[in-house]
Structure 1
Amino acid sequence: MSTTASPVPGVAAGTTTGTRPASRRSRARLIERRVGALLLAAAGLAMGAGGMLHPHGSGDTLDEALGSMLGSSMWGLSHVLVLTGIVIGVAGFVLVRRSGALDAVCPWITVVIVAWALAAIETLPHLLAGAEHAAHAAGEATPMTDAHLTLSVFTTPLMAFTTAILAVQLARRARTALAWILAAFAIAGALTFGIASPLLALTGDPAMSALFPGQLLIDVWLIGTAVRLWAPPRSN
């Protein structure tokens, strides 16, 4: 029996060359998935560290508590870490979306990307507010602090609740105990961290600041989801 020479140099006769581009696309998507997972884990760690380093306010009024926090030497570092984590998280979600690993919830990933990007914008004046400690103490204008307090009323719940909804959507499709446990962390984070800024603005009670550490619960979801994404995709 005669054999037909391959028209493609270096490829044996009878080899289906179309499988190579498909294989390259598959490898590229796996790389995007895993790099995205690494970024989400790094985001959770950075935001968690920033949250734990965040100064605690003291005083009977919101102004007193805010002034004590603005004057803390940890204000800058804690918010740099949080801002870095949010930006890395956005990049991680973008890569995971591109990888097609979570196509079933792609619309919600897009919503989360937008919500986190808005949160990053708010975190910038939040960070810069630390430079206004003297102005705040003197009763002078504090535009960065004012911008942070106003924007966070909207961006904090948007970030927290869209993340929780994404977590629930992932758990519904995964149908595993681990996915639902992680979703429970995200939901608890939304019901604490997510309502902290609006309640603080409505009540003016500095005690509402005790809800902000709920961000750590969302960080746990991020890291846990990153671990799940790193695992090889299941074959059908």
Structure 2
Amino acid sequence: MPAICLMMVLAAPGLQAQLPVEAAEAELAIPFGAASGQIATADDLLLFLNSERMDASFAIRRENIRNMSVNNNVLTVETVEAVNGSNALNFRLLSGDASRFSRWAQGIAPATMTSGPAAAATSASAAVAPKASSVEMTYQARHNHRIGSGCTGRLLITDDRISYDSVDNIDHSRQWQLKEIKELKRKNPYKVIIDPFVGDKYELELIGGGMSSQDFQKIGSMISDSRKP
């Protein structure tokens, strides 16, 4: 949705009476930082109005949301189709009541709120949404900082990118396309290092279940295949 349309939804006189709008100040995690703006729900739309770059504003239809959760004022949205080049978006809420988004998420169809074999079967039988980036693997992870105690989050591997979504510190979230990664190193099942062609290496400690040799080899093959013409 163009940014001008988002402005109309959020600010047009009399429009809120027809289309209920609830907005909150928020920061969207982006590679190497965060974008400030407002996040809002309006009918079946989840909107993000970028206060720094209007052309970077966007809207997500409820039907495109696979899963949505709120944890420590961080709103995590997983989508069926990629939005802003990603299927996983993290918003740190700076104001407002986070529970409003949980209530709005209750309107998401049950098929899109579940995960695992049952959800995959439902999605396959429906065959409505076009092909999008699919989630291959997910790990709970921790990033240790040079200063401070570090942060926890999620390491997400899809068919076209690797991302670390921090729950505690959104500024430490990162995202790389597979073709941008020079090497993925595995010190042991619980420690991995992402070494991109551009930028610093990123070391993560996996919490709970580690990365098996089979999964590590699969990710390595995905990275190699992404560079093929």
- TM-score normalised by length of structure 2: 0.23
Q: Rg bigger for which structure?
A: 1
Which structure shows the higher strand fraction? 2
Which structure shows the higher helix fraction? 1
Asked which structure has the greater RCO (Cα within 8 Å, sep 6+), the reply is 1
